[in-house]
Each structure stands twice: as C-alpha cells, then as structure tokens.
Structure 1
Amino acid sequence: MMWRIVLCFVPCILYIPTFGVNAMSPNYVQKLTNEVLKDYNPAARPNDLNGNIGNVTFGISPTCLNLRYYGLVFGNIWYKINWYDPRLTWNSSSGVESLNLPNDLIWKPDIVPFFGRDGTHYDSKYPVKVFSNGMVLFVPSVEFKHRCFRQTKRSARKIIRCNVEFGSWTYDSEIMNLNFFGGKASVDTSTYDFDFCPTKILQSTATRKVKKIEGYPKSYVSLIFHLKLVKRGAGKRLKGLRKKGFYKSAN
C-alpha cells in the first residue's frame, strides 16, 4: 500500500496544471509595437472628433541652474509633457500596459521657450512612454538657457526673479489646450540638487496666459514660470561638496 501511495504521488507532482498562466510569446511586444505603429505618421497630429489635439500638459523640473550677473540663466531641466493620442491604443488584457518607444517615432507637441533655447529635448536618447489607453508621457532632460532681460547686481544675497515663458510654436488655443502638468501651477523642485548647484531655487509659482498675436485671429496659450533664484557663495558650495563626499578639507 505504501508503494502505491509513493508511485501515485510522483506523477501528481510532475503534472502541474497550467491554466490561468499568461503564455505570452517571446516576440509578443515586438508584434504589438509593429501593430500599434502600423500606418502611424509622426508628422501628423492626433485629433479628436472636432479635429483638435485636445489637452496637453506641461511642467518643468530643474535639476541644477546657474545664474550670470548679466541676466543669463542656464542649466539642466526636465520637461514633463503629457498628451493623448487615440492612434496609440491597444487591448492591455495580455498584461502589456505600456511601451517605451524612441521619441522620433511619435508625434510630439511643439512646446518651446519663447525667449530662450533648449538644445536637446528632442534627442532620440529620451524615449516616450505610451500607455494602452493612448496617453503619452515624455520626460526629456534638456540643456536650458534663458535671458532674464535685466542686468543683475553682484550680490550673492539678492533674490533674482526670472520669468520663463513656454508655449506651442504653431498651435492656437482651440487646437491645443495647453495647461499645467498634474494641474500644478508651480515649478517642481523635487529633483533639484540644493547641495551642489551654484544657484539656489526658491519656491516658484507659474501662471497661464491666453493672448492674441497681432495679425492672427486666434488666441495662443503660454505658461509662465516665475523662477526665484539666489546666487550662492563659494563657501556654501564647498559645504555642499563636502556633504556629498566630493571634497575634503586639508585639515
């Protein structure tokens, strides 16, 4: 009787039921990507039933900024851009809820700083994240320069206020409804390196403005980020370096 139990027990271990297990093929994501991008034209904007792009949200998250006394602000900033593209949807029941794609394969909003420049925010090394419901998230790191239009005095203690204006270069407010990322009318400083950066950023707000350009019948939306910056002294920068372990005192 004991041997019968053992012999019966062994095949019970070998035959494990596989129902309920998602048997996804090794090239499923590749096939899904090809299907999603089939006949997709990145030069053509997405549109709703009225032919408009719809809601696009935008925010900035500086990582490190520097301030020159002749009014130039430069450094590194993360852009946070979110929009909906109904062409980029699929059934996520297989378990694939998002795809990371090269950004040059996808249409992107033409949001730029109006009175400055950003060198690399369309660099192909920063992918877009596309979700199965058609939402797209693009968070590139950019090298940013902006003229604040005002000569600043050589004072390390003075708060410098610098307004940085962003908006679509071509789309009016009817086609693209531009607003703040996450609904927050402020500068996100959660990624800022307060210990090392030569310029400190204070809590900074933002405003949304709708305006008309002379000679054009349509209105345009711009988002203005009111940066509040303080130039830090060399002593504080060294303190930040020591805190991060990059610099040690001779003593």
Structure 2
Amino acid sequence: MKEINQETPITKYHLQELTWRDLLRVFLPLIVLVLIPLGYGFWRTLYGYSSFGPAAAAAWGKNWFYIAGILVILLLLYTYRRLKRAHTWIYVYSWGLKFHFPPGRQCVLKWEEIVGITSYSIKKSFLRLAKRKKNYLILYSERYPPLQVHPGIQDHEGLKRIIKKHTYQKLQPRLSQAFSQGQTLPFGDVTVSKEKLILPKVEVPWDYIEGISVEKGVIIINLSEQNTIEIPIRKIVNLEILIHLIKTEI
C-alpha cells in the first residue's frame, strides 16, 4: 500500500480548487470589505472620544462594529465552505481511485474492488427558465458503503467514463461468465436469470418480453400483452452490463 500511495495520479478531479489566484481575486477583496466598516468604526470612535467624550465614542462606532462583526461571521462561513470544497477530490491511478473527503478522510478503491456502478442525471428548472442538470455517480464495493461522487466535481462526465471503462473491463467478463454458467445476477431493482426477469413485485419469463429500451432516465420493459414496466435507471446497477447480457445471452 505504501508503494501505491507514492504513485503519481494519472488524473485529478477536484470539487473546487483553492489557488493563489482565488486568494487574490476573492478573499483579499472580502477581507477589505470587512475592514472598511471596522476601520470606519474605529475612526468614528476616536473622533467621538476626542471631540465629545466617552459616551459619544461608544455610541458612534457601535453600529459599524456590529456590521463588521456580521461580515466577519459571513467571511468565516464562506472560508469554511471553500476549504471544505477544496479538500473534496478524486485522484485516478492506474490501479484504481483515491477519494478525499473533509476533514482528511480518505478511501482507496482498486478497480477490481468495484462491483457496481449507478449513474443518472436529473434536470432541475426554476419556473422553466433556469435549467440545470445534476449528474450522479455511485460506486458499490464490498469494502465501503456506497460511495457517491459529488455532483459538482469538475468534469463529472469525463470521470464517469474513466471509471466505467476500467471497472467494466474487469467486471463484465466475470458477470458474463457467471450468467453463462446459469447464475442469477442482481442489478439493483432488476435481477436476471436464464429463465426470467425478476423485478421487485413480479417475475416475468423472457418469452413474455418483446423488448427492453432505455429512454429519458427509465428502463422500459415491453411485454407481449402491450403492457410496459418502467424502472428508473437510478435504481439499476451496472446498466450497460445488464443491457449487454440481455442482447447477447438471452
């Protein structure tokens, strides 16, 4: 493991890096914004004290100190958020992945340890004007609870392609061989065997299924009686391998 940790990562994916440019372009103006009411409050206090005495000094600068205090709290909250995002990253190595979550928690996952991938997208809109798509990627392994990649990670789609490529190269042959040997394989809410498709509430023999397709975030199962069953792909694990098995083995 020591040799693995010393290896240089192939690619790095950050949630939001914190660089010297950010310190100069973001934090320095914010610090100046905090210092303006603080400095003005000190000036008002000194002027009031020298001209009218302690009572004026206490009254004239008080409100500006309150404003400066509120700005300091907001600055600290923003700094905490930026530091938290800066310490959320994923490094890609030849052997697998390294996840880093604040405060300093790390997870190391080899390609062969990944046994399932769920990926889907959700489009959100506000009053049909501002539309935004959030990408979700969840990795399953026997070593950790499900690991969810932060939707805001940089180049989320590129990271997803790399993970699926390396994982499926090792996982798909194993599952295909197991299926050919007659094993029943679970894919989240869908389980397949040589004889039937097993869903949460029903088991459907393959003879009753006319086709399976994926449209708009759901997997559609067309039955011979002109009925359909729809399952959201967010409930499916290893969707690409599932489709491959159905096309090649059934």
Common topology (TM > 0.5):
no
> TM-score w.r.t. structure 1 length?
0.27
Instruction: Say which structure, 1 or 2, has more relative contact order (CA 8 Å, 6+ apart).
Output: 1
Q: Which has the higher helix share?
A: 2
Q: Which has the higher strand share?
A: 1
> TM-score w.r.t. structure 2 length?
0.27
